Amino acid sequence: MIRAGRLGTLLLGLMVALVGAGCSGSDATSTDSTPSSTASPADPEADPGALLPTTTASLPPATGQACGDPHAHVYSPDRLELLAACVTITGTVAVIRTEKDGDLHLLLQLDPGEGKYLNAKNVSGEMGDLVLEPVCVHTPTQTDAIPACAGYQNPLSIPAVGSHISVTGPWVLDLDHGWQEIHPVFAFNGVGAPATPTPIQAAATPAPAPAQPAAALTVGITAASYGYVAAHTLPGATCTARAQLPSGSYSQAQGLQVSPTAGADGNVSWTYGTTSRTTKGTGTYTVTCMLNGQSATATAPFTV
């Protein structure tokens, strides 16, 4: 016969075992190379056949900004409205997805005080996170995106989910989806090169000896895309830029109203806001530089 005290002890042990079995579960961390479908909203442009790239949880400490052409290796850039040419934002990587256009979608949970970079569509469609797009990380499977990545492989180290980072690049509004993005990403923690190599800078012209005449002023346009133009001239020259749009009118964008002075490397550039409502076609840049009473002008086409 089992005594009452012993029976109570056995029943208590049985209950503890049953509760333990019901609450037990695996604590293993998933090593699946694709993101969880429950980690983010459904994305019709995601590429389920592409594996995520290798990521790193130990990016170097943040350094300075590194921005370039905001349209470099971006397919159909007119679908992006430029809000700011170069910003640096901090937050924590929440989700990584591969996209059919060869890019990645990283969702960044922003640090307090960075909320101005989000809109209502980020909140309703992207879990309240900012979309980051490093371009051409893998081979595109979307036909119209293939030319933008031809001959180019993105050199950036991709931060792992859970990493706290800074990200640098142009802040844009995706007109097709309605949310705001950093697209393309130029640097994580200030480390990385622009999506297109910047024009090779010519060596600074040595100062002539007092007895020699001043060097003849020249100017050449080294980069020309809708929203960005760069030129090379003599150090110290003051330059202006005008953008005649395909409609024949001239852009009044604020970024073109400045008159920069060429530094020791002789380089000058202008970045300005664009809009998808601009008439499509070929426009013309005119860059004029002046130095010591001399004047020189160069023109170059660009496509809207």
> Residue 131's domain is classified under what CATH number?
2.40.50.140
Residues 165 and 235 in one domain: no
> Is residue 19 assigned to a domain?
no
Percentage of the chain exceeding pLDDT 90:
59
Domain boundary among 188, 208, 242: 188
- For residue 148, pLDDT over 70 is answered with yes
Examine the pLDDT at 175 and tell me if it is beyond 80. yes
Task: Give domain status of residue 31, yes or no.
Answer: no
153 and 239 in one domain?
Answer: no
**N-to-C CA span, the chain:** 94
Is residue 16 one of the residues assigned to a domain? no
Judge if 184 and 61 occupy the same domain.
yes
Residues 34-65 have pLDDT tens digits of: 433 334 556 667 776 666 666 666 655 555 55
Mean pLDDT of 186-206: 65
Q: Give 20-33 pLDDT, tens digit per residue.
A: 444 333 333 333 34
Neighbours of 92 (CB within 10 A): 16
> Which residues, at least 6 apart from 71, have a Cβ–Cβ distance to it below 8 Å?
77, 225, 226, 227, 228
Instruction: Spell out a b/e string for 248-272, using b for 16 or more CB atoms within 10 Å of the CB, else e.
Output: eeebebebbeeebebeeebbbbbbb
Verify that 172 and 255 share a domain, yes or no: no
Q: Looking at the structure, tell me whether residues 86 and 142 fall in a common domain.
A: yes
- On whether residue 72 sits in a domain, the answer given is yes
Residue 264 has pLDDT above 80, yes or no: yes
- Can you give the residue range of the structural domain that contains 257? 219-303
Q: Are residues 104 and 175 in the same domain?
A: yes
Of 6-20, 73-87, 123-137, minimum mean pLDDT range: 6-20
Name the percent of the chain lying above pLDDT 70.
Answer: 72
Instruction: Identify the H or E element spanning 240.
Output: strand 238-244
Q: Model-level pTM greater than 0.85?
A: no
- Other CB atoms within a 10 A radius of the CB of residue 108 amount to 28
Mean pLDDT calculated for residue range 87-101: 93
Domain count, the chain: 2
Q: Could you tell me if 71 and 171 lie in one domain?
A: yes
Domain-located, residue 10: no
